């Protein structure tokens, strides 16, 4: 199924799911029952996963107002080596 977008002069935009290639130029609006014209738009760009949308928003915000570092971050705790690494042959 493909999502097609239509625009009603009275009610605004709405989506309709139909098999690919079967969308008519005009479709009846579900609210006011008037003919709505088909709108050609980019596919699913506004419907991205929330995690991706949040990451893109943070990236865009950092261009305009980056976070300023005022001190050196604390030292990371090193993890102990895996026990199996001790059994490997040494060069």
Q: Do the domain assignments include residue 73?
A: no
Please name which of 1, 8, 4, 43 lies closest in space to residue 24, comparing C-alpha atoms: 4
CATH assignment at residue 38: 2.20.28
DSSP H or E segment with residue 25: none
Q: How confident is the model at residue 44 (pLDDT cuts 50, 70, 90)?
A: low
In percent, the amount of the chain with pLDDT more than 70 equals 93
Mean pLDDT for 47-74 is: 83
The residue with greater pLDDT, 67 or 16, is 16
Q: Do the domain assignments include residue 67?
A: no
Q: Do the domain assignments include residue 82?
A: no
The count of domains in the chain is 1
CA gap 6, 25 in Å, rounded: 9
Mean pLDDT for 26-55 is: 83
Domain range enclosing 38: 1-61
3-state secondary structure 45-85: CCCCCHHHHHHHHHHHHHHHCCCCCCCCCCCCCCCCCCHHH
């Amino acid at each position: 199924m493909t999502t097609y977008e239509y625009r009603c002069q009275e009610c605004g935009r709405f989506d309709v799911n139909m098999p690919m290639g079967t969308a008519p130029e005009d479709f009846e609006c579900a609210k006011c029952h008037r003919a709505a014209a088909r709108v050609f738009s980019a596919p699913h760009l506004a419907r991205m996963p929330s995690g991706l949308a949040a990451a893109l928003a943070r990236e865009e915000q950092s261009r305009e107002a980056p976070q300023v570092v005022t001190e050196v971050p604390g030292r990371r705790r090193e993890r102990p080596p895996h026990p199996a690494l001790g059994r490997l042959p040494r060069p």
